[in-house]
């Protein structure tokens, strides 16, 4: 297998969510930076710091997860020369469901490295807890 082309933050993000849907730990970890500066926070969970902890967290999630799809909507973006922060809404569709679950708000941070862009942080949390979820609003991208 050849190295993935992560020449843009968008390419890494697409690979991250494709690995998420495929429940592929190898593809997932290829999207992350190769050092221990990375961190991941799954919804309502404690932070996972470093590659071993992040990999273990995704492994556990993939083992427990059934088939699902994820739709991603960018709501905010901040760009610097070597780092991009994207805030997205994640809409999960589980199994045979036809409608997405209430949204999850995630912050994805990408850093440019010698071999391209890589994820260094994924922090996801429920967008709305209890009651009726808020209506979807159009994405806003700021540069």
pLDDT digits (tens, 9 = 90+) for 20-74: 999 999 999 999 999 999 999 999 999 999 999 999 999 998 988 788 899 999 9
- Number of C-beta neighbours around residue 48 at 10 A: 20
Identify the domain containing residue 87 by its residue range.
Answer: 9-126
79: pLDDT strictly greater than 50 = yes
Residue 94 to residues 35, 81, 100, 102, Cα–Cα distance (Å): 32, 37, 8, 12
109: pLDDT strictly greater than 80 = yes
141: pLDDT strictly greater than 90 = no
Q: Is residue 39 part of a domain?
A: yes
136: pLDDT strictly greater than 90 = no
Q: Is residue 131 part of a domain?
A: no
CA nearest neighbour of 24 among 53, 54, 59, 49? 59
| Number of separate domains in the chain | 1
CA nearest neighbour of 7 among 117, 118, 98, 114? 117
Q: Is residue 93 part of a domain?
A: yes
Q: Is residue 15 part of a domain?
A: yes
Q: What is the pLDDT of residue 142?
A: 45
Q: What is the pLDDT of residue 130?
A: 54
Q: Is residue 3 part of a domain?
A: no
Query: In three state form, how does the secondary structure of 89-126 look?
Result: EEEEEECCCCCCCCCEEEEEEEEEECCEEEEEEEEEEE
Token pair 């540069």 is found at: 143
134: pLDDT strictly greater than 70 = no
Give the CATH number, domain containing residue 71. 3.10.450.50
Q: Is residue 142 part of a domain?
A: no
Q: Is residue 110 part of a domain?
A: yes
Q: Is residue 137 part of a domain?
A: no
The rounded distance, in Å, linking the Cα atoms of 108 and 54 is 14
């Amino acid at each position: 297998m050849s190295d993935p082309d992560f020449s843009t933050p968008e390419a890494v993000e697409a690979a991250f969510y494709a690995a998420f849907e495929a429940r592929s730990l190898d593809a997932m970890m290829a999207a992350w930076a190769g050092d221990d500066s990375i961190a991941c926070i799954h919804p309502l969970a404690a932070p996972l710091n470093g590659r071993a902890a992040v990999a273990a967290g995704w492994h556990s999630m993939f083992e427990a997860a059934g088939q699902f799809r994820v739709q991603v909507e960018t709501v905010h973006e901040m760009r610097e020369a070597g780092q991009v922060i994207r805030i997205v809404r994640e809409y999960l569709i589980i199994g045979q469901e036809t409608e997405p679950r209430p949204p999850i708000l995630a912050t994805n941070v990408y850093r440019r490295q010698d071999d391209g862009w890589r994820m260094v942080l994924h922090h996801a949390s429920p967008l709305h807890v209890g009651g009726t979820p808020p209506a979807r609003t159009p994405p806003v991208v700021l540069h």
